[in-house]
Amino acid sequence: MFIDYYWIFSDECKMYVLFPPHSVMKAVVHRIAYGDWYAHGYTWIRREFDTWLLARLDQLIDGCLIDEPKTWKYIKRLVLNKKIVSILDIGAHIGGYSVVLGRRISGVAVEPMPDTFKILTYNILVNHSNIKALNMAVYDGATSTVKLCRSPYHSGADFISDEGDIEVPQTTLNDLWNKYGPFDLVKVDVEGAEDKIFTSTEIDPKYLVVEVRSRTWPLVRELISRSYRIVFVEKLIRSKKVFNVFLEHYIK
C-alpha cells in the first residue's frame, strides 16, 4: 500500500518492509504467512491513533515512550480535549510523539541525526501525519553547524559535542517559531543541551516539556521567572537523574 515511499532508503530499502500491518490480528497473520513485517533488526510498533512506527531494536523504548508514560498520557489528553492543536518537537527521534500526534494535530519535528531522521520521515509518510520534518539541530545559533556524537547506548541519547564526527546544520528556537509557529506545545529533548536552546528566546508557548538533568535544572528556574508554572515532574525510567518537566504558561 505504501510502496510509493519505498525510495526514501535507496540501497537500504532491502532492510525494510513495504508497509506496516493495519491491525494486530492482520499483523499476526501477515507475520505467519510471509515472515517479513520485521527484518534485519527493524520492527513495527503499534501506537495510538491507528499509527505504526518503524524502529530499530535499540529505538523501541523511545518509540513506545516506555520511559515517560505520564508525560505521554497528559499530552494525549490535552490533544484529545483540543487544548493543543500544534506541536514543535525538538529532538523528535523516530516520532514517538510527533508522528502519533500528527494524526490529530499539526506540527514540526526536528531531528539532527541523519539515519534517525530517515526513519522519522518514513514514519511520517506511512502514517500520513500532518508533520513537517527538519534534519537539523536546534542550538544557540552561534555557528551555522554543530557536531553530533553517537551514544554507545541507544540512538535516543545521541548528543551535540565538538568532538563529534557528524556535522549538521543548526537553527534556533526563535527562528523555528518565527518561520513555522506559533505552537501550543514545544517539547525539547536534546540530551543536556536544553539550556542552549532557550538562550535569548522570546517565545511563550502555552505548554513546554523540557528534559532536564542536574546541570540544566537552572533552566527550569528561569522558565518559572518567565511566567511558567510546573504542572508535574516525571523521572525517566531508564535514568536516576533525568526528568521530564511539564510547564504551563500563565498570565500574572
- Whether 14 maps to a domain, the answer reads no
Alpha-carbon span 71 to 247, nearest angstrom? 11
The grid coordinates of residue 99 equal: 508522528
Tell me the pLDDT of the chain averaged across its residues.
82
Mind listing the pLDDT tens digit for each residue in 64-98? 999 999 999 999 999 999 999 999 999 999 999 99
Say what the pLDDT of residue 28 is.
57
- Whether 34 maps to a domain, the answer reads no
Give CB contacts under 8 A, 24+ apart, made by 141-145. 141/170, 141/171, 141/172, 141/174, 141/175, 141/199, 143/170, 144/169, 144/170, 145/169, 145/170
Residue 13 or 94, more confident: 94
Q: How many domains does the chain fold into?
A: 1
Cross-sheet strand order for the sheet of 137-138: 137-138, 166-171, 145-149, 159-160
- Whether 150 maps to a domain, the answer reads yes
- Whether 154 maps to a domain, the answer reads yes
Give the CATH number of the domain where residue 174 resides: 3.40.50.150
- pLDDT exceeds 70 at position 180: yes
Residues linked to residue 43 through DSSP beta bridges, in sequence order: 55
- Whether 40 maps to a domain, the answer reads no
- Whether 124 maps to a domain, the answer reads yes
Residue 47, judged by CB atoms within 10 A of its CB (0-12, 13-18, 19+), counts as buried
Determine the structural domain holding residue 94 and report its residue range: 62-249
- Whether 69 maps to a domain, the answer reads yes
The reported pTM is: 0.83
SS (H, E, C) the chain: CCHHHHHHHHHHHHHCCCCCCCCHHHHHHHHHHHCCCCECCEEEEEECCCEEEEEEHHHHHHHHCCCCHHHHHHHHHHHHCCCCCEEEEECCCCCCCHHHHCCCCEEEEECCCHHHHHHHHHHHHHHCCCEEEECCEECCCCCCEEEEECCCCCHHHCEECCCCCEEEEEECHHHHHHHHCCCCEEEECCCCCHHHHCCCCCCCCCEEEEEECHHHHHHHHHHHHCCEEEEEEEECCCCCCCEEEEEEECCC
- Whether 225 maps to a domain, the answer reads yes
Mind listing the pLDDT tens digit for each residue in 97-137? 999 999 999 999 999 988 899 999 999 998 999 999 999 98
